[in-house]
Chains A and B, each alone.
Chain A
Amino acid sequence: MEEQKVLTGKAQWLVFKRLMHYLVPHKKMVFLALGLLALTVLGDVLGPLLIKTFIDDYLTPGTFPTGPVAGLALGYLFIQVSNVIISYFQLLKFQEAALKIIQQLRIDVFTKVQNLGMRYFDKTPAGSMVSRVTNDTEAIKEMFVSVLIGFIQSAFLIVGVYTAMFFLNVRLALMTLVLLPLLFGIMFLYRKYSSVFYQDLRERLGQLNAKLSESIQGMGMIQAFGQEQRLQDEFNDINDKHWAAGRRNIKLDGLLLRPAIDIVYAIALIMLLSYFGVMSFSSTVEVGVIYAFVTYVDRFFEPIGQVMQRLSIFQQAIVAASRVFALLDEEDLAPRQENALGTITSGKIEFRNVTFSYDGKNDVLKNISFTAEPGQTVALVGHTGSGKSSIINLLMRFYEFKNGDILIDGKSVKSYSAKELRSKMGLVLQDPFLFYGTIDSNIRLHNHSMTDSDVRAAAEFVQADRFIEDLPDTYGQAVTERGSTFSSGQRQLVAFARTMATDPKILVLDEATANIDTETEVAIQTSLEKMRRGRTTIAIAHRLSTIQDAELILVLHHGEIVERGTHQQLLSNRGLYHKMYLLQNGIVE
């Protein structure tokens, strides 16, 4: 979990401004909602006015002419009814806008996640990324729903109240202005500490989630090794720290929010009363003015209190938003492809002096050069950790390389559109990954144009049809998360079928049959053999038998190609390959 630095006031302001930009596409709805809000405020002002008219004009004199009184009553009812309807729609519209804004924000973050490079995924726990896409955005929603409208309403009111006060008594109004710095002071203090505290709280929440997510996924291991207690302790430790952070926030909120505002309110009252009281010692004071001022101070503090109440939601939203924006601004992007229109036709692959490092320090691949002619099979062999998968990672553009170049059909891989590359190259990963869904949806993925018979053909191709057809629901059989109800070999077969279903021009196999029995493997080999024409294949295998008739075998050692040739040539070289080969066949020299 990366630590974020404390947000300065300016940074918070920027985050806020950026959030406000999300309002722009919904400006119509927002303006509509604000218009409705204004109408309801108007209704709130008019209602009491009608009552005042009734009291002053009719009740006080004690005359009740039917016409005007009924008119007033009807008018009052009309205002009430329309107020109810309008405020319903105003509330609904505002929530709708907020929900849509959050949806947009979520889609933006998710899209960003899709565009990040593998390097980012290597270093960031999935749980913390998920938490940003869903939970942090949820915290921002609260701000749009409850805070913003409250702020706007309060701003209206405060301006109105001050105008009225200046109207009544300039001197006193100026005096009450003294309250403003006091209030701002409290807000400033609150902002200063709460941003630190809330950030701490959210970070702890992030840690909690990351721990939880990893523990859930690794529960099998935790239980197999009897580490439940330790994990519980570790979790409790984070949980307690999160709890402590929560309590700290409550203390801060208690010290500086509503209770503090009420103290200022009391100060204001005391100020008013002493002013008028002292005045009354020397001259007469109009009681009406006192009432008006007291009411206005009341009115003034009511929205302030509301704002302060919601300040904590606001603060949380800003902290959450800053985390979301940090992800949106992440620069560890997937390698760029120029969107050229080139198409891959023959499938020739050439590595030219490619040197690569994951961390910028240790070179994992050193000066790799080789050529796979169209239709050829090139095999990569070598000890574990020698860099075989890394070569594929580069070819598939999972990681960006700096030195050397990789050419497909004579042009750099960087100059094909991502779409072209993905549609022409098929990769079977070393670790198969199945999605929640069905067997069918796992082979088909999001490709809806694929027919059922295509799916079946792909399954048959890799010999997966036999076990699939034995399943109660055959191709419609449910697949749970990561395919946990299938054997490892079965998962690998489904993942293999998925790649074959796209009928790739270039096929890349990374230990595609490592968990599969020999019989099935041989059958797959035969199918591949049949379909080899016109397909360039790059295969990694530890079982040398599976790559025996490759046109070119590359032997990797510590990231370097130390031997190359056909099987026969390599054997007669009596080098590393020969040694590996002898070992595998249990022949001792």
Chain B
Amino acid sequence: MRVFLELGWFFKERKKHYLIGVLMLLIVAFLGVLPPRIIGFVVDEISRGSLTPAFLMKWLGLLAAAACAMYVLRYAWRQMIFGSSVLLARNLRKQLFDHLTRMSPAFYQKRRVGDLMAHATNDLQAVQQTAGPGVLTLVDSFATGGFVIAAMAFTINWKLTLIVLLPMPLMAYLTNYYGKLLHERFHRAQESFSGLNDKTQESISGMKVIKTFGQEQEDIEDFQRLSGKVVEENIRVARVDSLFDPTISAIIGVCYFLTIGFGSYFVTRGEMTIGDLVAFTAYLGLLVWPMLAFGWLFNIVERGRASYDRIRSLLAEPVDIDDRENALDKRPEGNIVVSVEKFQFPGDERSALRDVHFMLKRGETLGIAGKTGSGKSAILRLLLREFDRYEGEITFGNVPIQDYKKQRLREAIGYVPQDHFLFSTTVAGNIAFARPNAKMEEVVQAAKLAHIHDDILNFADGYNTVVGERGVSLSGGQKQRISIARALMMRPELLILDDSLSAVDAKTEEAILESLKKTRTGETTIITSHRLSAIQHAHQILVMHEGSVAEIGTHEALLERKGRYYEMYQLQQLEALVEQGGEA
């Protein structure tokens, strides 16, 4: 039942609704005692043969009035209590989403999509059940149970009532014990469901690979195994879950037994009549529902607690990249100075960057080359403040990037990532992602700059063509160029192209670089590429090797050095020569 305390903040927030709702519930429970009474009166009159039309009318009228009042009240408390529970789900879902948008890549690296999704669906559902039907059952079972027990004690025989209530502590103990068992089992069941979600999500995202390797059957078997685990865990839940009803019926059985046994004793002693005994058993019958509901309540509440635990632990994940106090509310511009002594990716002992120092003047272009895994993208990700923990400092316009508001810093950077990610909206929507209210002309202009305009015009619906999830219905080069257009839309102070021309042909690459050079005169650009043709015109070229800067300088200076850059260049030239068959 702890979950009710844990959700206390919400009940407080909706105090009025819950109080009114509970009050209505109590009134309904009380009104519920009326019909049997009215029947009793009328039947008594009939049996005495003294029933008059006026009397009948009066009581039946009362009955009808009570029924109408109950209808209205029942409808109204549902709005109050259930209405609040869906509000809770909505608010928690919003909180979850807001929290997710604040989490850094370090978080997404360790969490899986399917699992996060399960939090927002299954777990929220369980919490909603607790705040709605859970509260209802709690109140209802206590109220009905209380009224009935009071009726038993005060109108019939309090001694018998006490005796009959003897097994109740046992019931409380057992249901509590089951509840504990359930808690752990629910946790595991929910986790296995998350696992299944993860599996499904991944298989669907990686469907092309599965098809390529003809592993559909094996993948289905894997799914079968995981879904088998879900069944197993849920059967573990069911084993405890199914104990509630029989246990409670058993207890009720014992109560009946005690009633009849002791009741008979009292009857023979003349302390009560047989009629009293029959009425007493009838009341006992009324107790069945609240007690069963109590068992059911445990089920809802334990499920809710397990889920709420999961949600809370997700919401408790600290936001590791946040604005400093008094952060500058200004779009950064100016020179960029990177001086990083050491950087390790979270959860990795190896240092991804060591002693990286360079200065990039405003308006200049920096090229970064280097082998796969040498740390090119790592530098760029630090510039974007995807990670904050490193030794050293990065300044933008003489101010450490951590001192700007995150929002303002990123506003100044147009980032074209190495792995392009497009959203499942229209082409125009994707290009105008950062400026959704931009005019169509601007979108077209960005598209033209990225040399994707002609391709777009050839699509079935032009700029209104909906690209599938992640842009599945586009060719590799089209995706890359839409990403570029998207970054250009921001008219960024700093444009970052992370190997973003790898899927376009030489002609397009050349054209894009040319138009960048023409339009971006005062602004800074960073390009990483394996094809030296893309960076050789840069003002400065950085050659990375195993996380450190191996060489730095202009194209000519680096050739002069006859180091790594020279080797790379030679290799690419050599290939070109071989291509020409030695002609040139």
Contact = CB atoms under 8 A, between A and B. Distances in A.
Interface string B127-167: 00000000000000000000000000000000000000000
A216 B51 contact: no
A514 B502 contact: yes
Contacts of B268: 62
Given A209-B121, A231-B101, 13 more contacts: A47-B253, A51-B260, A121-B204, A215-B100, A389-B475, A421-B214, A433-B209, A495-B209, A515-B502, A522-B575, A542-B502, A568-B581, A583-B510
Given A99-B231, A103-B230, A110 B220 contact: yes
Interface in A199-223: 205, 208-209, 212-223
Interface stretch (A16-24, A346-354, A378-386): A378-386
Interface string A466-493: 0100101000000011101111111001
A91 interface: yes
Interface in B458-491: 458, 460, 468-470, 472-473, 475-478, 480-481, 486, 490
Contacts of A118: 207-208, 211
A548 B578 contact: yes
B455 to A, nearest CB: 5
Interface stretch (B11-19, B407-415, B519-527): B407-415
A328 interface: no
Contacts of B576: 545, 584-585
A517 B530 contact: yes
| 6 A-B pairs with the lowest CB-CB distances in the bound complex, closest first | A384-B477, A422-B214, A489-B372, A266-B67, A446-B218, A545-B575
Interface stretch (B2-10, B112-120, B173-181, B440-448): B112-120
Among B105, B110, B206, B207, residue most surrounded by chain A Cβ atoms (within 10 Å)? B207
Contact of B250 (A84, A96, A138): A84
A216 B476 contact: no
B382 interface: no
B1 interface: no
B210 to A, nearest CB: 7
Interface string B494-519: 00000100111111101000000000
Nearest to A471: B350
A130 B197 contact: yes
Nearest to A483: B419
A225 interface: yes
B398 interface: no
A213 B533 contact: no
Interface string A60-80: 101010000000010011001
24 contacts: A84-B246, A91-B245, A103-B227, A107-B224, A110-B200, A113-B207, A130-B114, A226-B406, A231-B101, A232-B94, A262-B70, A266-B66, A269-B63, A277-B60, A396-B212, A398-B211, A430-B476, A435-B209, A446-B215, A467-B372, A488-B418, A545-B579, A548-B578, A571-B583
Contact of B222 (A92, A381, A446): A446
B415 to A, nearest CB: 5
Contacts of A122: 468, 472-473
User: Interface on chain A toward B: helix, strand, loop, or mixed SS?
Assistant: helix
A111 interface: yes
Interface in B172-217: 193, 196-198, 200-216
Interface residues of B, number: 174
A236 B207 CA distance: 31
A412 interface: no
A121 B209 CA distance: 13
B346 to A, nearest CB: 9
A274 B56 contact: yes
Given A134-B193, A273-B60, A260 B71 contact: yes
Contact of A226 (B35, B246, B278, B410): B410
Given A487-B373, A545-B576, A385 B214 contact: no
A527 interface: no
A216 B455 CA distance: 29
Contacts of B196: 106, 134
B267 interface: yes
A447 B218 CA distance: 9
B460 A361 contact: yes
Nearest to A472: B349
B30 interface: no
Interface stretch (A5-13, A166-174, A189-197, A243-251): A243-251
Contacts of A242: 90
A520 B371 contact: yes
B315 interface: no
Contacts of B247: 84
A436 interface: yes
Interface in B260-302: 260-261, 264, 267-268, 274, 277-278, 281
A57 interface: no
Given A121-B472, A254-B75, A259-B74, A218 B421 contact: yes
Interface string A259-282: 110110111011001101110110
A91 B245 CA distance: 9
Contacts, number: 479
Nearest to A80: B253
A217 B51 contact: no
Interface stretch (A283-291, A365-373, A453-461, A528-536): A283-291
A220 B113 contact: no
Contact of B571 (A100, A266, A519): A519
A571 B87 CA distance: 70
A230 B434 CA distance: 9
B317 interface: no
Contacts of A269: 35, 39, 63
B51 A134 contact: no
A87 B246 contact: yes
A263 B67 contact: yes
B86 interface: yes
Interface in B49-92: 49, 51, 53, 56, 59-60, 63-64, 66-68, 70-71, 74-75, 78-79, 82-83, 86-87, 89-90
B102 interface: yes
A290 B74 contact: no
Contact of A220 (B120, B421, B508, B571): B421
A426 to B, nearest CB: 8
A315 interface: no
A586 interface: yes
B505 A266 contact: no
Contacts of A382: 505
B219 A446 contact: yes
Q: A102, A254, A467 — which one has the most chain B CB atoms within 10 A of its CB?
A: A254
Given A130-B197, A480-B109, A225 B433 contact: yes
B116 A502 contact: no
B506 A485 contact: no
A343 interface: no
Given A54-B260, A480-B109, A480-B110, A130 B242 contact: no
A484 B419 CA distance: 10
Interface string B376-399: 110000001010000000000000
Contacts of B358: none
